[in-house]
Amino acid sequence: MKRFFIALFTLFFFFFLFSPVKASVGVGVGTGKIELDEVLKPGLNYDLPPLTVYNTGDKGSEYYVSIEFSTKEGKLESEEEWYTFTPSEFYLEPDGSQVVQIELNIPMRGSKPGDYFAFLTAQPKKDEQNDSASVGVAAACKLYFSIQAANIFQALYYRLSALFIQYKPWSIIVPIVLIIFLLWLLLRKKFKIVKQ
């Protein structure tokens, strides 16, 4: 009888405690929180600090970054269309990492002034062959920012001034050339320059 219990215990020990281990997909992010101190203006695009995504598992997988919202924070929710992730999808080997650039595009219309909150969430794409490998696996970074109050004319002014700065010196050269050309046309018409 004693041998029976020892054999039973040994079988239990080997089958339940040393069962074959499945490969797993894991995910981590290198930043826990992004908090923008600058108050953002409607109509402008902002480059956020990059987000590094890690595969913490022992199996390679396709990953993507998305935006999630939480009503528990008591903050305004932005729209998914405001965010651009580069790259949007990528493959990571075990212990691999990928830096994802994030651009926040605040529209001229539809952005309420106030404090905003969102989660930047990294997760593996669903594994079609093994659904359980990626269920519930995600990592998130908290994002906080504020948007300044502005009407449509102020937002248009912010956008035009940002474009002027972005395309300098051409934003100065092209208007000067146009003004000189218009002055030449005006003077030519006024003084009726005649060829001899």
> For the segment 122-170, what is each residue's pLDDT rounded down to a tens digit?
999 876 555 444 456 788 889 999 988 876 676 666 667 666 766 778 8
Structure tokens at 157: 């002014």
Question: Within this chain, do residues 102 and 84 fall inside the same structural domain, yes or no?
Answer: yes
- Residues 74 and 94: their CA atoms lie apart, in Å, by 37
Question: Within this chain, do residues 136 and 156 fall inside the same structural domain, yes or no?
Answer: no
Which residue type occupies 191?
F
Pairing of strands 89-92, 33-40: unpaired
- The predicted model scores a pTM of 0.64
pLDDT digits (tens, 9 = 90+) for 99-126: 999 999 988 777 888 899 999 999 998 7
Residue whose C-alpha is closest to residue 25's, from 50, 62, 51:
62
End-to-end CA distance of the chain: 129
Q: Is 155 exposed, middle or buried (0-12, 13-18, 19+ CB in 10 A)?
A: buried
Tell me whether residue 115 is in a domain.
yes
Question: Within this chain, do residues 144 and 186 fall inside the same structural domain, yes or no?
Answer: no
Question: Within this chain, do residues 99 and 174 fall inside the same structural domain, yes or no?
Answer: no
